Amino acid sequence: MERIDIHPTHSHENFKLRLGRPQPFGATIVPGGVNFSIFSSHATSCSLVLFKKHAKAPLAEIPFPDEFRIGNVYCMVVFDLDYENLEYGYRMDGPNNFQQGHWFDPSKILLDPYAKIIGGRDVWGVVPDWEDIYHHRGRIAFDDFDWGNDRALEIPPEDQIIYEMHVRSFTRHESSGIKENHRGTFAGIRDKIPYLKELGINAVELMPVYEFDEFENSRPNPQTGETLYNYWGYSTVGFFSPKAGYAATGKFGMQVDELKTLVKELHKNGIEVILDVVFNHTAEGNERGPTISFRGIDNKTYYMMTPEGYYFNFSGCGNTINCNNPIVRNIVLDCLRYWAAEYHIDGFRFDLASILGRDPWGYPLANPPLLESLAFDPILAKCKLIAEAWDAGGLYQVGSFPAYGRWAEWNGKFRDGIRKFIKGDGTVGQIAQCLQGSPNLYAWAGRAPATSINFITAHDGFTLMDLVSYNHKHNEANGENNNDGSNDNDSWNCGWEGATDDVGINALRRRQIKNAIAILMVSQGVPMLLMGDEVGRTQNGNNNTYCHDNELSWLDWNLQTKNAEILEFVKHCVAFRRSHPVLRNPNHFRNQDYVGSGYADITWHGTKAWNVDWSDGNRAIAFLLCGKHAKQGTVEDNYIYVAMNMHWQTQWFEIPGLPPSLQWHVFANTGAVFASNYLPGTEPVLENQSGILVGDRSVVILVGK
Amino acid sequence: MTFTASLEIVDDVAKITLAGELDAATAPALKEEVEKAVKQKVKRLVLFASGLEYMASAGLRVLLFSKQKLGADVDIYVVGAQEFILETLEKTGFDQTVILVDKYDE
């Protein structure tokens, strides 16, 4: 029987209309038409503005009849729309009073916060028409992708090895060798899946892929005249739309299908997809920023306002999303559910996540409703939730982020601790914690080692090559007089600032890179690699390349040849981690023998076996993992011994004895004349089983089997 | 340019020759022809696409619809599609649903 609610009841000019459904918000294809639904608690009227794709002037404006408003939701079905060639927005009227926080302006056309595709920046870097009356245009998405049998991979958190990358930087360089029109796109990443697989990582973390405007705050580089962009995209225009300019098919409006195809292919290859999401602020910026969406729809609801009507700026980017307002909480939840269900996303990393725990006046909440909702949500139940547990307003919550047993954290203290140790600060106590998954931060609260996302480098800050090549940041090319970017880098240039021909310095830098990778890969928790560190990528000392769409940011694939030895070392260390479950424990060490092996799960050693000098200034430490305790004794593994000598002099390490019948084998020695590293399983026997000479600033990894 | 889709069924093979612009407005016409082929229980569907000027999301989706209607064991060939259409099919994953060929040999 035919339904009786598929026929129009109203009309406006040539358009046939009917009362719509308030849920879901956004534009939804329904039988015979499109259901439009948008919320505003303070608007006094609302019109739907329709454009033919790319047209300068609207095709029509349809005011919502009074009877089409349910509560604070305007909802309407428009019949017979050619929705593939359509763009839509809204015009809203209401109070305009700065101090009260109301910014209604009926001269503006507003983007639907729930738009699933956004046109207007279809192809990366094409200069927009600044006279356009509507820049970021909502479009209607097909949601009928053929997923086959795909599903989120649900890799146990402690088994993850994350690769943090920028979509465009990964393949934009011509040396990527892929088709020209795939460079810098989702399709380009798909072309390079074999590389990622060979590297051995099992999760990619994509820097923001929600629609953003690369032209936001774009300006000429004062040194070169080249355009500086909003390149990283930490400034969201639309939370439900993939960045069109990241899709080779963006010009056809097919970015949704292209990104889904990438996710499906990565999953087929055992690689999870984590999105870096920015819910702390939007592209509308401060009081002088553009009106794109929220500001004209319900300014006071979506943003944190001072009593005087200004924006609070806990993000350092002009405004702060009012995350713990009940309405805003729902849009965040709707958004993440959409990405988890519709795009099969495996996890999310929340930029400046501490803002998500602040109340509407900016005070940190003890039990933030948003974080709690996300942690207990049924649709997000298997998604990884990772917090960047600080914000630009001074909140630093590494170790204390409200976790509800679910939230992991970017461990900034791991980064700082390992950096200090590697450059020779002698912080053995601190790195002992780092190596164990930071129990000092997490064990007391019952949080697992995988809570700790271990990283030494990330997009913010130096690359690994620059960490060992520069004492100071060199950000002049950003055009901010070197004032931007962090000053706390804990870096050491090994004797010369920047590139050098000095053979000794270059050898030391390579060794330091290997030391860092080795320590990262034998630490409990979840290691994260920064794109390009596996091939010694440099940014010439720039520690904040947020604005550079050029070789400073792009991955140069020729480095694979130039730094082949680093790449091989990284691959071997990743493979080593993957083949040894004892490095990936789901629970913290107990410092005792609870399986009867005669060895505690972890024991600490120095240059003398069973003896550690814990005093500050000591730079030599070693540990032994008992293979019988791997994954709490549920699987059998080898014994692993790691000696780290960050002293400038070679030291003899006495090695703890193994059970009879087992022998020590050398997996890696970063300080050997021909730095040795082997594929797991092929390691040669160590000649002298009672000790080993560990070179200055070197790491040795032994396997007892 | 207007869209045309002409169907010819020989033995177990349905052949549809496409010309013009395949988008949301014209996709239903192709869908109709595919449904006719489904009724005839064909073993193969061949789409001659060299005359296609444009294919948007809705057009691509008819391919998927065809696969679902015809069943997994019925192969769908897209013959002689222009470069940009091939590219779009590849990048959006539709190339996993259909077989792309330059020429079709009986």
For residue range A10-48, list pLDDT tens digits in order: 999 999 999 999 999 999 999 889 999 999 999 999 999
Q: pLDDT band at A90, cuts 50/70/90?
A: very high
Cβ-based neighbour number of residue B12 at 10 Å: 11
Return d(Cα A508, Cα A494) in angstroms, integer.
Answer: 7
**pLDDT at position B105:** 78
The answer, yes or no, to whether residue A1 has pLDDT greater than 70, is no
Contact by Cβ (8 Å): A344, A154: no
A223-227, A257-261, B19-23: range with highest mean pLDDT: A257-261
Do A249 and B88 lie within an 8 Å CB cutoff?
Answer: yes
Neighboring chain B residues of A247 at a CB cutoff of 8 Å? 91
Neighbouring-strand partners of residue A453:
A410, A526
- Tell me phi and psi for residue A85, to 5 degrees: -110, 30
The answer, yes or no, to whether residue B67 has pLDDT greater than 90, is no
Return d(Cα A209, Cα A278) in angstroms, integer.
Answer: 10
**pLDDT at position A84:** 86
Q: Following CA atoms B35, B39, B42, B44 in sequence, which dihedral angle do they give, to the nearest 10 degrees?
A: 10
Name residue, tokens 């059970």: A659
Residue type, position A30, single letter: V
- Using the Cβ of B3 and the Cβ atoms of chain A, whether some distance falls under 8 Å is answered with no
Residue range B67-79: mean pLDDT, rounded: 89
Q: How open is the CA angle A149-A270-A557, to the nearest 5 degrees?
A: 130
Q: pLDDT band at A687, cuts 50/70/90?
A: very high
Return d(Cα A108, Cα A91) in angstroms, integer.
Answer: 6
Interface probe for A, chosen from B57, B65, B88 (most Cβ of A below 10 Å), is: B57
Is the ipTM higher than 0.85? The answer is no
Contact by Cβ (8 Å): A546, A212: no
Total CB pairs under 8 A between chain A and B: 59
Residue type, position A629, single letter: H
Contact by Cβ (8 Å): A241, A115: yes
Query: Which structure tokens are listed for A22?
Result: 């308030």
* Nearest Cα to Cα of residue A53 among B50, B80, B25: B25
Return d(Cα A619, Cα A614) in angstroms, integer.
Answer: 9
- Tell me which DSSP letter residue A338 carries: H
Return d(Cα B77, Cα B104) in angstroms, integer.
Answer: 8
Residue range A146-154: mean pLDDT, rounded: 94
* Nearest Cα to Cα of residue A642 among A586, A596, A580: A580
Instruction: Determine the angle formed by the axes of helices B27-39 and B57-70, rounding to 10 degrees.
Output: 10
* Nearest Cα to Cα of residue A195 among A677, A676, A682, A567: A567
Per-residue pLDDT of A599-620, as tens digits, reads 999 999 999 999 999 998 999 9
Neighboring chain A residues of B97 at a CB cutoff of 8 Å? 146
Cβ-based neighbour number of residue A244 at 10 Å: 26
Q: Containing H/E element for A645? A: strand A639-645
Q: Provide the shortest C-alpha distance from residue B30 to chain A (in Å).
A: 17
The SS3 call for residue A315 is coil
Per-residue pLDDT of B27-47, as tens digits, reads 888 999 999 998 988 999 999
Do A85 and B24 lie within an 8 Å CB cutoff?
Answer: yes
Return d(Cα A345, Cα A337) in angstroms, integer.
Answer: 9
Per-residue pLDDT of A339-356, as tens digits, reads 999 999 999 999 999 999
**pLDDT at position A640:** 98
Task: Report the residue of chain B nearest A181, measured CA to CA.
Answer: B87
**pLDDT at position B68:** 84
Per-residue pLDDT of A204-252, as tens digits, reads 999 999 999 999 999 998 888 999 999 999 999 999 999 999 999 998 8
Contact by Cβ (8 Å): B87, A181: yes
Cβ-based neighbour number of residue A477 at 10 Å: 22
Return d(Cα B61, Cα B24) in angstroms, integer.
Answer: 10
Task: Say which of A82, A84, A257 has its CB closest to residue B92.
Answer: A257
Q: Provide the shortest C-alpha distance from residue B94 to chain A (in Å).
A: 9
**Average pLDDT value over all residues in chain A:** 95
Cβ-based neighbour number of residue A288 at 10 Å: 6
Q: Containing H/E element for A18? A: strand A15-19
Return d(Cα A24, Cα A463) in angstroms, integer.
Answer: 43
Question: Which positions of A are catalytic?
Answer: 351, 388
CA distances from A337 to A210, A380, A638, B79 (A): 15, 6, 41, 39
Residue range A404-420: mean pLDDT, rounded: 97
The answer, yes or no, to whether residue A544 has pLDDT greater than 90, is yes
Letter string b/e over residues A62-94, b meaning 16 or more CB atoms within 10 A of that residue's CB? bebeeebbeeebbbbbbbebebbbbbbbbbbeb
- Quickly list H helices, A42-120: none
Neighboring chain B residues of A260 at a CB cutoff of 8 Å? 93
Name residue, tokens 């146990």: A156
Neighboring chain B residues of A82 at a CB cutoff of 8 Å? 24-25
Return d(Cα A225, Cα A184) in angstroms, integer.
Answer: 23
- Tell me phi and psi for residue A429, to 5 degrees: -60, -45
Chain centroid, CA A628 distance in Å: 35
Task: Say which of A85, A145, A249 has its CB closest to residue B91.
Answer: A249
The answer, yes or no, to whether residue A380 has pLDDT greater than 70, is yes
- Tell me phi and psi for residue A26, to 5 degrees: 105, -165
* Nearest Cα to Cα of residue B68 among B101, B93, B45, B92: B45
- Using the Cβ of B61 and the Cβ atoms of chain A, whether some distance falls under 8 Å is answered with yes
Residue range A657-670: mean pLDDT, rounded: 96
Return d(Cα B91, Cα B57) in angstroms, integer.
Answer: 12
Higher-pLDDT residue of B26, A380: A380
CA torsion sign, A499 to A500 to A503 to A508?
Answer: negative
**pLDDT at position A224:** 87
Contact by Cβ (8 Å): A319, A311: yes
Do A257 and B64 lie within an 8 Å CB cutoff?
Answer: no
Do A84 and B61 lie within an 8 Å CB cutoff?
Answer: no
Higher-pLDDT residue of B57, A229: A229
CA torsion sign, A689 to A691 to A696 to A701?
Answer: positive
pTM: 0.95
Domain boundaries, chain A: 590-704
Task: Say which of A84, A145, A254 has its CB closest to residue B88.
Answer: A254
Task: Say which of A84, A248, A260 has its CB closest to residue B24.
Answer: A84
Neighboring chain A residues of B54 at a CB cutoff of 8 Å? none
The answer, yes or no, to whether residue A675 has pLDDT greater than 80, is no
Q: What CATH topology corresponds to A590-704?
A: Immunoglobulin-like (2.60.40)
Beta sheet of A60-63, edge-to-edge order: A60-63, A45-52, A86-93, A137-139, A117-119
Do A252 and B56 lie within an 8 Å CB cutoff?
Answer: yes
Return d(Cα A216, Cα B91) in angstroms, integer.
Answer: 28
Cis link prior to A24 (omega < 30° from 0)?
A: yes
Do A84 and B23 lie within an 8 Å CB cutoff?
Answer: yes
Neighboring chain A residues of B92 at a CB cutoff of 8 Å? 249, 254, 257-258, 261
Neighboring chain B residues of A261 at a CB cutoff of 8 Å? 91-93
CA distances from B81 to A261, B34, B51, B53, B103 (A): 21, 18, 8, 9, 10
- Using the Cβ of B25 and the Cβ atoms of chain A, whether some distance falls under 8 Å is answered with yes
The SS3 call for residue A117 is strand
Q: Provide the shortest C-alpha distance from residue B3 to chain A (in Å).
A: 16
Q: pLDDT band at A674, cuts 50/70/90?
A: low
Cβ-based neighbour number of residue A20 at 10 Å: 22
Instruction: Give every CB contact of residue A16 below 8 A, 6+ residues apart in sequence.
Output: A8, A10, A33, A78, A79, A80
**pLDDT at position A318:** 93
Residue range A312-326: mean pLDDT, rounded: 92
Task: Say which of A142, A247, A261 has its CB closest to residue B93.
Answer: A261
Task: Say which of B58, B87, B91 has its CB closest to residue A84.
Answer: B58
Half-sphere exposure of A308 (CA within 13 A, CB side): 4
Per-residue pLDDT of A525-543, as tens digits, reads 999 999 999 999 999 999 9
